[in-house]
Chains A and B, each alone.
Chain A
Amino acid sequence: MIQHIRENRRLQGFLLILPAMFVMVMLLVIPLTLTVITSFGQRDADGNVIYTFTLENYWRLMGFTEQGWDDLYLRILLRSLWLAVQTTVIVILMAYPLAYFIARSPEKRRNFLLFLVLVPLWTNFVIRIYAWVMILRSQGVLNSTLGAIAGLLNVPFQPLDLYPSQTAVLIGMVYEFLPFMILPIYTSLEKIEPSLYEAAADLYANAFRTFWRVTVPLSMPGIVAGTILTFIPVIGTFVVSDILGGRQVILVGNLVQRQFLDARNPPFGAAASIILLVMTLVLTLYYTRRFGLGEEIAAG
């Protein structure tokens, strides 16, 4: 038996990918196929799935209902998309200077700074988001601090009405995904050979032009990786919007969750999750085609 495996290279290859194949089929292919099948189904009065082929769920998501035009679900989709775009852009703008600062720090200090970036991830995600409730609610840390400052300066103070709101969701998202942007950008910045900055300076580029012509293009792989790591989870989230948005901020993730758990309408929830999947896939493909995965740059 062993002898047989040793001599047969094809068999070796097959045996090596077997565990991965098993995981992919059991945890990805089968559930996804089930979801697709369910999304074309209907529900009966008791909330059971009837497996037929109807596009009704998709039409409803697009706004065509039996009662006429209703853009409720389209708005949810667009809201998720908009929030994901906002989060990604803000995270890039906040992460880049930090990553740059860490990459330009003395080598010994870099690991310590990266460690600090990662420290928040040691606490449970839900607890961290709840911490933001404590900070943002009307009697929270933020308002009492601002109130105290206003009191000292003797100016009138109107407590900020941040929680629950879409802004609070955005803040939570930015907070949550900042490390996932800092790390890949740092990695690509750290890889840039310092002599390239000197070469740019030598060729009459000041710091500003060096940044735009050399630093940014060479750190694109990091920005692309960070964007994928941020955008995809944000567009499908439901926990952060649930906690920080209350019932006010419904995203696709919340829609899917409620259709499955509260409304007992799995076919409609499945259709919503397939729409989310397709949307994410299309955007990611477009994005990576447009900006590349950056390998050819990193390999230089």
Chain B
Amino acid sequence: MAEYAVELRNVWKRFPGPGGEVVTAVKNVSLQIYDGEFFALLGPSGCGKTTSLRMIAGFELPSEGEIFIHGRPMGKTPPYQRPVNTVFQSYALFPHMTIGENVAFGLQMKGVDKKEITRRVAEALEMVRLSGYEKRKPKQLSGGQQQRVALARALVNRPEVLLLDEPLGALDLKLRKEMQLELKRLQREVGITFIFVTHDQEEALTMSDRIAVMEGGVALQVGTANDIYEHPNCRFVADFIGETNFLDGKVAEVDTDKARIELPGGVSLWAHTPQRVVVGQAVTVTVRPEKMHIRPNATDINQVTGYVTDIVYIGTDTHYGVVLIGGQTIRVREQNYAADSRLLAREGEEVCVRFSIEAARVLTE
């Protein structure tokens, strides 16, 4: 058995558009998803994440490239012959069948014997805590319950990979949080590879072992939640995951893994350079708000001066909006960890914003 549960190798997908033009939904995507992993495809709508998932399921065929499931090339294999199951965004429960019949459907199609079907259906419903609902019809269940039936209907077949297309999208916030934990628990329990499509970055960070951030049909960055948050490789990823500040400037001086960047207004700062840059190059520096400080701190090298424009106090943190001398605005988040935290500045006051070289990352794209 191959080391990857699913592999996409240089996959492209083109659709005929409404006006006869060609729409490229997925552009040269290569992904390796490990066995037993909880993997998220994250991106805004129209980024190609759902198309990628549908190609793994077999509902769409790649225009170019190949998809492997446990090392076997899928080629034109139809969905009903693939060892994967899907949980649909709309759940797609069969309205004319009972919950029991819905869950049994896949096993019946595979020709599993009746006794075994009864046993496994009961087991699957127990797993999603819906025992005793066999005889009900889907529309008699709440959204959250339907969602769990959809999960049971897929998992009962013991697929090699479970594909989930925004499965929590239709649930309200509280239920969504519950289901996130529930899904995570289920995944650990059954040990099946989950591939999860979502546009909700928080959901992806909460649940996934690894995340692929997609935009415009391209997989921009693949990594753990920590990787992607701390080491974004481009402006889009930095912006999409969490909150961040961008400072535009020009490279003034280059060292081995850091560079001095000059901002408008004659301010300059040192930042970490993951990619090679040259003097004179226009770049963007990203710094997370919580890694910036207004509080005096001797160890932080970078110091830029500005004026406080607004203050938002939210209990655990206080957010300061600061406009720098060059005219760029940033947000600074100070944690109120002291026993008796007070505001560190007032609106209109001049402040010195400090941050370390490592907290500032130079992005070239």
Q: Are A195 and B85 touching (Cβ within 8 A)?
A: no
Which chain B positions have C-beta within 8 A of A203? 80, 85, 105-106, 109, 153, 157
Q: Give the 6 A-B residue pairs with the shortest CB-CB distance, closest first.
A: A300-B95, A203-B106, A199-B92, A204-B109, A195-B92, A201-B79
B79-104: CB near A (< 8 Å → 1, else 0) gives 11100111011101111100000000
Question: B15 interface residue, CB < 8 Å from A?
Answer: no
Task: Please tell me which one of the listed residues B57, B78, B90, B139 contacts residue A300 in the complex, with CB atoms under 8 A apart.
Answer: B139
The answer, yes or no, to whether B313 is at the interface (CB within 8 Å) is no
State how many angstroms separate the Cβ of A295 from the closest Cβ of chain B.
12
Q: What A residues does B88 contact at CB under 8 A?
A: 195, 198-199
Contact present for A202 and B95 (CB under 8 Å): no
Query: Are A205 and B78 in contact, with the CB atoms below 8 A?
Result: no
A47 to chain B, nearest CB (A): 56
A196 touches B92 (CB 8 A): yes
Taking CB atoms, residues of chain B closer than 8 Å to A201 are 58-59, 78-80
Contact between B95 and A204, CB atoms less than 8 A apart: no
CA distance A66 to B88 in the complex (A): 72
Residues of A within 8 A of B78 (CB): 201, 206
**Given A198-B59, A204-B109, A299-B139, 10 new contacts (CB under 8 A):** A193-B92, A196-B94, A199-B88, A199-B92, A199-B93, A203-B80, A205-B80, A218-B96, A296-B137, A300-B138
A290 to chain B, nearest CB (A): 15
Q: How far is the CA of A223 from the CA of B139 in the complex (A)?
A: 22
For A202, give its contact among B57, B90, B93, B137 (CB under 8 Å). Answer: B57
Check B110 for interface membership: any CB of A closer than 8 A: yes
B-facing residues in A198-227 (Cβ within 8 Å) = 198-206, 209, 213-214, 217-218
Closest to A197 in B: B92
Shortest Cβ distance from A210 into chain B, in angstroms?
Answer: 8
Q: Is A297 an interface residue when CB atoms closer than 8 A count as contact?
A: yes
> In the assembly, what is the distance between CA of A204 and CA of B86, in Å?
11
Write out the residue numbers on chain A whose beta carbons fall within 8 Å of the beta carbon of B154. 202
Q: How large is the interface on B (under 10, 10 to 19, 20 to 34, 35 or more residues)?
A: 20 to 34
Instruction: Please determine whether A198 and B80 come into contact, CB atoms closer than 8 angstroms.
Output: no
Q: Closest approach, in angstroms, between the C-beta of B16 and any C-beta of chain A?
A: 11
Whether B92 and A297, one on each chain, are in contact in the complex, defined by CB atoms closer than 8 angstroms, is no
- Give the distance in Å from the alpha carbon of A218 to the alpha carbon of B80 in the complex: 20
A202 and B139 contact, CB distance less than 8 A: no
Contact of A199 among B84, B86, B96, B139 (CB under 8 A): B86
User: Which residues does chain B contribute within 8 Å of A196, judged by CB atoms?
Assistant: 92, 94
Q: Is the CB of B94 within 8 A of A214?
A: yes
Kindly state the separation between the CA atoms of A299 and B138 in the bound complex, as whole angstroms: 11
- In the assembled complex, which residues on chain B have CB atoms less than 8 Å from the CB atom of A296? 137
| Alpha-carbon gap, A299 to B96, bound state (A) | 10
Across the interface, do B92 and A204 meet the contact criterion of CB distance under 8 Å?
no
Q: Which residues of A approach B to under 8 Å, CB–CB? A: 193, 195-196, 198-206, 209, 213-214, 217-218, 296-297, 299-300
Q: Which residues on A sit within 8 Å (CB–CB) of B90?
A: 193, 195
Beta-carbon contact of A297 and B95 below 8 Å: yes
Listed in ascending order, the chain B residues whose CB lies under 8 Å from chain A are 57-59, 78-81, 84-86, 88-90, 92-96, 105-106, 109-110, 137-139, 153-154, 157
Q: Name the one of B86, B89, B109, B153 contacting A209, with C-beta atoms under 8 angstroms.
A: B109
Compute how far the CA of A215 lies from the CA of B86 in the bound complex, rounded to whole angstroms: 20
Query: Can you give 21 A-B contacts (C-beta < 8 A)?
Result: A195-B90, A196-B92, A198-B79, A199-B88, A200-B105, A201-B79, A202-B79, A202-B85, A202-B154, A203-B85, A203-B105, A203-B109, A203-B153, A203-B157, A204-B109, A205-B80, A206-B78, A206-B80, A297-B95, A297-B96, A300-B96
The residue on A at minimum CB distance from B95 is A300
Cβ-closest chain A residue relative to B81: A204
Instruction: Identify which of A199, A206, A209 contacts B94 (C-beta below 8 A).
Output: A199
Q: Which residues of A contact B85 (CB under 8 A)?
A: 202-203
Closest to A195 in B: B92
Residues from chain A with Cβ under 8 Å of B137 in the complex: 296, 300
Query: In angstroms, how far is the closest chain A Cβ from the Cβ of B80?
Result: 5
Point out which of A201, A206, A218 has the most chain B C-beta atoms below 10 A from its C-beta: A201
Q: Which of B81, B90, B92, B137 has the most CB of A within 10 A?
A: B92
Once bound together, how far apart are the Cα atoms of A154 and B94, in whole Å?
56
Query: Which residue in chain A gives the minimum CB-CB distance to B57?
Result: A202
Q: Provide the bound-state CA to CA distance between A199 and B94, in Å.
A: 9
Point out the residues of chain B lying under 8 angstroms from A218, CB to CB.
Answer: 95-96
Residue ID in chain B nearest A218 by CB atoms: B96
Give chain B residues whose Cβ lies under 8 Å from the Cβ of A217.
Answer: 96
Provide the bound-state CA to CA distance between A193 and B138, in Å: 14
Closest to B104 in A: A203
- From A200, A209, A218, residue with most partner B Cβ within 10 Å: A200
Point out which of A196, A200, A204, A206 has the most chain B C-beta atoms below 10 A from its C-beta: A204
- CB B96 to nearest CB in A, in angstroms, measures 5
Q: A193: which B residues are within 8 A, CB to CB? A: 90, 92
A residues near B92, Cβ cutoff 8 Å: 193, 195-196, 198-199
Are A204 and B80 in contact, CB atoms less than 8 angstroms apart? yes
Contacts of B94 in A (CB 8 A): 196, 199-200, 214
Given A195-B92, A196-B92, the answer on whether A204 and B138 have CB atoms closer than 8 Å is no
Are the C-beta atoms of B96 and A204 separated by less than 8 Å? no
Give complex CA distance A215, B187 in Å. Answer: 32
Task: Specify which of A198, A202, A296 lies most central, judged by the most chain B CB atoms within 10 Å of its CB.
Answer: A202
Q: Which residue of A lies closest to B93 (CB)?
A: A199
Which of the residues B57, B93, B106 comes within 8 Å of A204, measured between beta carbons?
B106
| Chain B residues with CB below 8 A from A199, complex form | 86, 88, 92-94
* Bound-state Cα–Cα, A68 to B315, Å: 102
Q: In chain A, what residue has the closest Cβ to B106?
A: A203
Chain A residues positioned under 8 Å from B58 (CB to CB): 201
Cα-based distance from A200 to B58 in the complex (angstroms): 13
Q: Across the two chains, which residue of chain A brings its CB closest to B156?
A: A203
Residue of A nearest to B139 (CB): A300
In angstroms, Cα B81 to Cα A32, docked, is 60
